[in-house]
Amino acid sequence: MDGKLRHMTSIYLYDDEKMLMLYRIGSRVVNNSYIGTAGGHFENNELNDAKKCILRELEEETGLTEKDISEPSLRYVTLRYKKSEIRQIYYFFAQLKNKDINITSNEGKLNWFKYNEIHELNMPHTAKYVVEHFIKEGKNNNKLYGGIAIPNGVSFTELKEFLD
């Protein structure tokens, strides 16, 4: 291991029954699979601000701004070792304020899926298990989870703030 790192963000828009998923086409890293509504790599000026990164990606890819969504909440941070690099991904979740607007993406095709349909989608390893965990547990609380990719899933633990 030579210490190569890749920092990425992803945001998932959801409501009580469905989640907006992007079938990403033509990406260098994640291609021809379903991911969150928007996401991507950090710019140099965003390395210490994952929320700034995800809001930029959301606007670039969908035209939505922070005014269009509920407060985006960082809910998961995962680590995965792939292609000789450590991939650290920050997962945000938010709801649309106006569910009647038409949303498109310049990165692929956006579709709303019922929660019980999502497990059938082709998704990157960590994204699949983050979404599964969010649907079963995460959407019912405000906890921040850390996850380490393992061969048959992701090992999650609640991240608690240290006071010392």
3-state class of 86 per DSSP?
strand
pLDDT digits (tens, 9 = 90+) for 29-78: 566 789 999 999 999 999 899 999 999 999 999 999 999 999 999 999 99
pLDDT digits (tens, 9 = 90+) for 94-149: 999 988 888 999 889 999 999 999 999 999 999 999 999 999 999 999 999 999 99
Instruction: Provide the phi-psi class of 127: left if phi over 0, else alpha when psi is between -120 and 50, else beta.
Output: alpha
This model's pTM is above 0.85: yes
pLDDT of residue 115: 97
Higher pLDDT, 29 or 92: 92
Domains and CATH numbers, the chain: 5-158 (3.90.79.10)
For residue 81, pLDDT over 70 is answered with yes
Please state, in angstroms and rounded to a whole number, the distance separating the CA atoms of residues 65 and 43: 18
**What amino acid occupies position 150?**
I
